Amino acid sequence: MPDLCTAFSNPYVEIAHNVDAIMHLTESAIVNGTLADMTLNLANQAKIGLVHVDMQGVIINENMHFQALNNHLGGNKNIMVPGFRAVSNRMIMQAKMITRPLLLEFSNEIRHFWVRYSPVMDSDNNVTGVFGAFQDWSAELSRINEAMRDKARFRDFARASSDWFWETDIDFRFTALSDRITALVGILASEFIGKPIDTLGRLMPNLNGEKTIHRARAEFIPFRDQLFEMLDTNGSIIRFHLAGVPLYDSEGKFRGYRGAGTDVTKSYTMEAETMRARQSLEMTMTELQRKNITLDITSGHAQTALKVKNEFLAAMSHELRTPLNAIIGFAEAMHLQVFGPIENRYASYAKDIENAGLHLLGLINDVLDVSVIESGDITLSRDIIDLHPLVVQAKALIALRADAKKINLDAVAIPENTLAFADERRALQILVNLLTNAVKFTPEKGMIGVDINPDVMAGRHMALTVWDTGLGVAAENHERIFEKFQQVTGEVYKGKPEGTGLGLHISRELARLMQGDITLESSIDNGSRFTVTLPLE
């Protein structure tokens, strides 16, 4: 709480004197347990609340002002003033009067009281109670605060203002000039009296390109926003807006102008900076528009090139697959000796031709799939499908290659009615790619399997995991193997594995197009687990 005695000494002394007077008049009356009529009258006139309480805080006597105060605080026969018990106990221990300020809240309004507590003595000088006088001085404090705020406000205005005041005759020669000009230009204001206004500075067009003073002088009318430039004590330009009103004598004859100058130096500096920033922004916008046009042209060329590429790949795949299918068919017929027996060596050559053709056909299909996925032209036909027959079909397609490496496929099986919401042909493609990849990177006499995760199936997606007992993939390569044309191998493999490195990339993109995904769990020497998640509905 601020030092009220220091901040508001005059009202403090006046109120203290009022309370002292009441206390003095009641000393004799309190001894007898009553309040004298004269005391009550004086207290009521001064709107001072008086109360006499016993040692237990029970009210013995009170006037109407204290009764209203105590009732507001929720009291009945016990005094309810905050802090009263602590103050009265301290007063009794010190055996002397205590004076203190008190803040109370009345209907969301803070009221200020000056309170004086005095011990009540019996004839043997024993303390029998406490007498208190409560003076409400909120109004006096409010008036003092307002007066101090007004004084501080006007003082701040005078200190902060950079305005200067002037008066000229009909020829715009100074007839009066405020002392503020001395601080601005370092020359006594009296030195400019009788001299033209341009000896102090120069009149310039304002931000609107106007000299408002010219029309005002011609028509004897008020003016404002007339730019006036001066040099300060450091030789720097300072700018003011002049505003003036015409002066007339008692006969109505024009005698000159009177007005003020307002500092606008910062405003003009900011305006200049704004202009530079605006010009820079306009140049940047022009450059950005030029680059956007170039980008649009480049983007158009890229889209055209992509379209041409996709059309080329589609045409080439068709042109390649037609003769390739014929080569594969004839090679298969020769290998199976459909048209008659041939030498075993030629039958072996025919099988090699068939395998090479199938491999080449797979590469063509992979490249075409990537192109279709990237162009966004892929069409999916999703429905509720059973994954069980797809796993059986995919297992059959990779069985021969697995047998060649003596890989155990017994665990490649899932329960019937394992449902998912997916495109059946694309789901089969994903399974074949993952199982083919597992066969490719699993050493001889290894094992491959397929699991269903029941925990995931309880949610909105199902999870099918293709696992193997290969050497696994290091953690830093888990994402890289899903990129295009990426293959990660270990020392167990002699040379680079066959294929383009597109299978995993295509599989994950297809899964994501069906609102699913493919993730990998693997580490060196612990095999790999590729988990496909697909929605259930």
Mean pLDDT, rounded, of the chain: 80
Can you give the pLDDT at residue 277?
Answer: 86
Considering only residues 499 and 47, tell me which one the structure prediction assigns the higher pLDDT: 47
pLDDT for res 158:
42
**Average pLDDT estimate for 417-435:** 90
* pLDDT average, residue stretch 435-461: 83
Confidence of residue 50 (pLDDT cuts 50, 70, 90): confident
Instruction: Specify the DSSP element, H or E, that contains 239.
Output: strand 237-248
Q: Identify the residue with better confidence: 261 or 304.
A: 261
Render pLDDT for 329-369 as a digit per residue (tens, 0 to 9). Answer: 877 888 788 778 888 888 788 877 877 777 677 777 777 77
Looking at the predicted structure, is the pLDDT value of residue 245 above 90?
yes
Q: Which of 487, 482, 469 is nearest to 518 (CA)?
A: 482
The SS3 call for residue 34 is: coil
Q: According to the model, what pLDDT value does residue 276 have?
A: 85
What are the two backbone dihedrals, phi and then psi, of residue 240, each rounded to the nearest 5 degrees?
-135, 150
Res 450: pLDDT:
94
Asked which of 33-37, 104-108, 410-414, 466-470 is least confident by mean pLDDT, the reply is 33-37
pTM over 0.85: no
Contact by Cβ (8 Å): 438, 476: no
- Of the given ranges (120-134, 184-198, 327-341, 368-382), which has the lowest mean pLDDT? 368-382
What whole-number distance in Å separates Cα of residue 85 and Cα of residue 78? 11
Check residue 447 and give its pLDDT: 93
pLDDT tens for 396-408 read 888 888 998 999 9
Cα-only R_g, the chain: 51
In this prediction, residue 491 carries a pLDDT of 38
3 pLDDT band, cuts 50/70/90, is very low
Token pair, residue 24, equals 């003095």
Neighbours of 392 (CB within 10 A): 13
Backbone angles phi, psi at 54, to 5 degrees: -85, -175
Pairwise pLDDT comparison (212 vs 312), residue with the higher score: 212
**pLDDT value, residue 455:** 62
Two structure tokens written together for 407: 């890989």
Would the pLDDT of 246 be above 80?
yes
Mean pLDDT of 14-31: 50
- Render pLDDT for 54-106 as a digit per residue (tens, 0 to 9): 888 788 888 888 888 888 877 767 777 777 777 777 777 776 788 888 888 87
Query: For the chain, what percent of residues have pLDDT higher than 90?
Result: 22
Task: Give the per-residue pLDDT at 66.
Answer: 85
Q: What is the per-residue pLDDT across 252-297, written as a single tens digit (0 to 9) for each?
A: 899 999 999 988 888 888 888 888 888 888 888 888 898 889 888 8
CA distance 184 to 164: 9
Q: Does 16 have pLDDT greater than 70?
A: no
Phi/psi at 255 (nearest 5 deg)?
-120, -5
* pLDDT band of 391, cuts 50, 70, 90: very high
pLDDT digits (tens, 9 = 90+) for 448-460: 999 988 666 556 8
User: What is the tens place of the pLDDT at every residue in 121-150?
Assistant: 877 878 888 888 888 888 888 888 888 888
pLDDT (tens digit per residue) in 463-507: 999 999 988 888 888 888 888 766 655 433 333 455 567 888 888
* Range 249-281 burial, b when 16+ CB lie within 10 A, else e: eeeeeeebbebbbbebbeebeeeeeeeeeeeee
Answer whether residue 227 shows pLDDT above 90.
Answer: yes
What residues contact 535, with CB distance under 8 A and at least 6 apart?
Answer: 420, 421, 422, 460, 461, 462, 514, 515, 516
CA distances from 229 to 31, 217, 265, 534 (A): 81, 19, 9, 77
The better pLDDT of the pair 100, 241 is held by: 241
